[in-house]
Amino acid sequence: MATQEELFASVDALLEEEPQLPPPAERARLREEAGVTQARLAKVLETTPQTVKNWENGRSEPRPPRLEAYQRLLEGWAAKFPKTAPTAPVAPAPAPATAAAAVSVPETFTGTPQEPAPAPEAPAPAPAAVPAAVPAAVAQPEPPAPPRATSRRPARKTAPAPVVDARFPHGPLAVLDGDGTAYGVGGIVLDCPAATVPELVEWTLRESGLGAPRLHRHGKDADPLVVVTREAAVRLGLPERLEDRRALRLEDGHPVLKQISRAKWQLTRRGFGPWARVYRPAKGGERQCVQLAVVPWDALDARAWPGIEGMEPAELARVLGAYATGVITPRGSTAVSGLELMTALRPPTRAVRDSAAGGWVSGRNPGSLGTAPVDPAPPEAPAEHPVAQGWEGGFLDEEAYQWVRDVDLLTGEEASLPWAVGLDVNTAFLSAAARLTVGLSGPEHVVRPVFDPKVPGCWLVDLSAVEVDPRLPSPFTPSGVRPTGPAWYETRTVAYAQELGHDVAPVEAYLRYDSGAYLDPWHDRLKAAYVGVMADLGVTSDLTDTQFLAAMEGHKNVDPGMAAVLAAVKATVKGGVGKLRERPQGRHYRDGERWPALERPTWRPDIRAAVISKARVNMHRKLRNMAAATGLYPLAVLSDCVVYPSPGRSPLDFLPYSASGKPLPGVFRLGATPGLVKVEGVQEMAWAVDLMEQGHNPARHIKGDGHDATLDEGE
C-alpha cells in the first residue's frame, strides 16, 4: 500500500497537470452570458479574435500562459452564470395506429438536405488508429465543429477530407499562426508546439503528416510547406522585416541561423530568405527537407496573389491549398512554381536496367530536357550571354505585340463609332503551349536548309516581301512594322509566312532534330486549374455568350480567395515562360559572364521564343479572320489584348455570328477557357483616338481602373 508521502506526491502531480477546460460550446455560452465579445476577450488575453473563435468551436486549444488565465476566467464566469438543468420533455400523445402515421413527416425539419435531423446520442465509436508519428487532426466543417486534436488529447477524425496518399494525410501545406496552430488544406487544424525553426522542421517531418505525392511516376514527392505568418515569425525568433532588402536573406550570425546549424540542419545557397529550404541529406532514399514561406518577408507577392495580405491563417491555407492541389505546392514565386511544374511533370531521369551490370541505373526520361544544361545558338541568346559575345549576325526577336495602327489609316466611319472595346485572350501563352513541338537537344548549324515546319529552331530568312494589310500589324515583328530584310525567326513564324503564300528560302538555320511536345502536360494541368477556378467563380464553359459576359462582371467578388488563386494561376503561366530566359541579376554582373540560371536544363530561350511566336501568330490569324468576316480592323494590340472600334459597349455588337447564332470559326470567341476572350475594358472612341494621336497604345489603358496593362513579355 502507498505511503502518505507517495499519495501526496501523486496528488501534487495531478494538481500540476494542465487545467481542463469546459467543452467549446460551454466556453462560448459563458462568454455570451457575460456579455463579452470575442474581440474584447482576445484583447484581454493578448491574442486574436480568430484564435478565440477557434477555442470556442473546438478547432484549437490555448496553451500556457493563456491556458491558465483562460481557465481562471471561465471558472469565474461559471460561478456567476451556472448552467440551468434542462426541462424534462413532456411525453407526446400516442401516435395514431395507422399506416399513414407511421410514415408521416414532422412539420419542422431541423437538419439540412444532406444530413438527417438530430437523433438521440449514441455511444461514440472507438477512435480510429492513428500512426504515432502523426498527430490526430480533424476536418474543419461549419459549426458544430469536431473536438480539437492535440498531442495531449487525441481526438478521432470526423468527416475527413478524402486522403489521396496515406503518407501525407494532412495535405501539402499548413499555415502557422502565432499561437502554434497550423491550418491545413480542407479545414485540417494541427497543434504545433514548436518554438524554434529546428523544432518546426522536426515537427513537420516527424509529426505533421504534410507533403504531396509526385506528379509523375519518375518524379519526386513534394516537400512539405509551412507558411509562416507575421505572428509565427515572431514566435520562432525571426524578424518581422528583412534588413537585407537586396539579397533578401537573414544576415550571417543571426540566432536562428545558429540554431539551425547546432541542430545539424542545412540551408541552400540562397540562405534563409522569404522562401527557405531547411534540409539534411536524404537518408535511405527518403528526403529530409521542409520549405518555409515567410509571409511578412513578402514571400507571397501581392501582384501574383492579390488580396493575400491580411487573410486569416485558415483562409490563407484554403487559398494556397487550392493552388497546391490544382497546380503544385508553391516552391517560391509563381514564376519559380511555373518552372518547377515543368520539371515535376517531365522529370529529367528515370530508372533503367543496365544489361551489362544487371542492375538499375539512372537514365534520361524520354521527352524531358535531361539533366545537362544546353547553350543556345548565338542568335537565340540574349546579348549578354557568353555565346553572343562577338556575334554580329543578328538576334531572334520573338516577342509579344506592341502595336498601334497609324491614326491616318482610320476611316471616318470608324472614327465616328462611339466606343472602343478591348478583348483579352485568356492565358494566351498557355493556349500557345498546347501541342507545341520544341527542341529537346542542342542546336545544329545548317547552311542553305530546306524549310521544314516540323523542325524547331531559328531560321535566317527574308520575309520583307510578304504583303500584309497596313491596317493590321505585321505578323513577323513585335512592333507590327514590316521587316526590311533578312532576320532570324522561330519555326512557327516562318511557317506562318508559308501559310500566307510566301515561298520561304532560309539562308541558314540553327535546328534541333530531337524534339517533342515538352510542354503538353504543363499545359494540360494549368488549363484544368484555370478552368476549375473559373468554374468556382461561377464562370463555366456551358454559359451562353450573354450569360458569360454577365458572370464576368462580378466573378472576382464571388470568392476573393479563389480570385487570388485565379491570378496566381495566370502569373504561373507568364512567369514560367519568362523563367525559360531568366536574365542575369545584380549590379556587379558584366556581359559575357555566366550567371546561375544558365546551369539549369530549363534555361531554354528557344522554348520561350517558340511559345511567344505561336501566341503572336495565333493573334494575327484571328485579326485577319475578323477582318475577312466583318471588315473590322483593330486600333491597337498589346500582347494578348486587342482593341476594336464598336457601335456599342458590348463585344456582342461587333463579334461575328452565323445565322444560327453560333460564333464563326477562326475569329475571337467569348468564353472561359484558354484561347477564348473576355472583355478587358470599354472606353469612348474619342479617348482611344486621342491616345493614338499622342503615340500611346489604347490597349495599355483600356481597363480605365488606374491599373495599366504591362507588356506581357514572359519575363
pLDDT in tens, 452-499: 999 999 999 999 999 999 999 999 999 999 999 999 999 999 999 999
pLDDT at 95: 41
Q: Are residues 430 and 413 in contact, defined by beta-carbon separation less than 8 angstroms?
A: no
pLDDT at 708: 56
> How many angstroms separate the Cα of 478 from the Cα of each of 467, 474, 616?
17, 8, 8
- For every residue of 379-428, DSSP letters joined together read GGS-TTSGGGTT--S--------EEE--GGG--HHHHTSSEEEEEEETTH
DSSP E strands, 129-224: 173-176, 181-184, 189-191
71: three-class secondary structure by DSSP: helix
pLDDT at 35: 83
> How many angstroms separate the Cα of 545 from the Cα of each of 238, 365, 462, 508, 539?
51, 43, 42, 47, 11
pLDDT tens, position by position, 257-283: 999 999 999 999 989 999 999 999 988
Residue 520 has pLDDT above 70, yes or no: yes
* Average pLDDT over every residue of 423-439: 97
Binning pLDDT at 50, 70 and 90, where does residue 62 land? confident
The β-bridge relationship of strands 225-228 and 286-294 is parallel
Residue 649 has pLDDT above 80, yes or no: yes
Q: Are residues 488 and 460 in contact, defined by beta-carbon separation less than 8 angstroms?
A: yes
Residue 78 has pLDDT above 70, yes or no: yes
Residue 694 has pLDDT above 60, yes or no: yes
C-alpha cell at 525: 494541368
Binning pLDDT at 50, 70 and 90, where does residue 64 land? confident
Q: Which residue has the higher pLDDT, 123 or 665?
A: 665
Angle between helices 313-326 and 560-579 (to 10 degrees): 50
Residue 569 has pLDDT above 90, yes or no: yes
Q: Which residue has the higher pLDDT, 547 or 147?
A: 547
Q: Find which of 31-40, 52-61, 126-135, 557-566 is predicted with most confidence, using mean pLDDT.
A: 557-566
Q: Are residues 417 and 647 in contact, defined by beta-carbon separation less than 8 angstroms?
A: yes
Closest CA to 573 of 516, 535, 527: 527
Binning pLDDT at 50, 70 and 90, where does residue 72 land? confident
Q: How many angstroms separate the CA atoms of 330 and 572, rounded? A: 10
Closest CA to 525 of 215, 300, 259, 262: 215
Q: Are residues 280 and 286 in contact, defined by beta-carbon separation less than 8 angstroms?
A: no
- For residue 385, the one-letter residue type is H
Binning pLDDT at 50, 70 and 90, where does residue 289 land? very high
pLDDT at 565: 97
pLDDT at 3: 65
Cα-flanking dihedrals φ and ψ of residue 384, to 5°?
-85, -5
Q: Which residue has the higher pLDDT, 91 or 34?
A: 34
Q: Is the peptide bond before 65 cis (omega within 30 degrees of 0)?
A: yes
* C-alpha angle 152-153-156 in degrees, rounded to nearest 5: 140
- pTM for the predicted model, two decimal places: 0.78
% of the chain surpassing 90 pLDDT: 70
Residue 129 has pLDDT above 50, yes or no: no
Could you give the domains of the chain?
A: 19-78 (1.10.260.40), 173-318 (no CATH)
pLDDT at 344: 97
Residue-averaged pLDDT of the chain? 86
Residue 582 has pLDDT above 90, yes or no: yes
pLDDT tens, position by position, 1-56: 566 666 665 655 555 555 678 888 889 899 988 888 888 898 888 887 778 887 88
What are the strands of the beta sheet with 677-684, ordered from one edge? 402-404, 636-638, 641-646, 419-425, 677-684
- Please tell me the number of Cα atoms within 13 Å of 336 on its side-chain side: 10
Q: How many angstroms separate the CA atoms of 24 and 568, rounded? A: 37
Q: How many angstroms separate the CA atoms of 427 and 83, rounded? A: 59
> How many angstroms separate the Cα of 21 from the Cα of each of 28, 70, 182, 297?
12, 8, 21, 36
Residue 113 has pLDDT above 50, yes or no: no
Contacts of 94 (CB under 8 A, 6+ apart): none
pLDDT at 90: 44
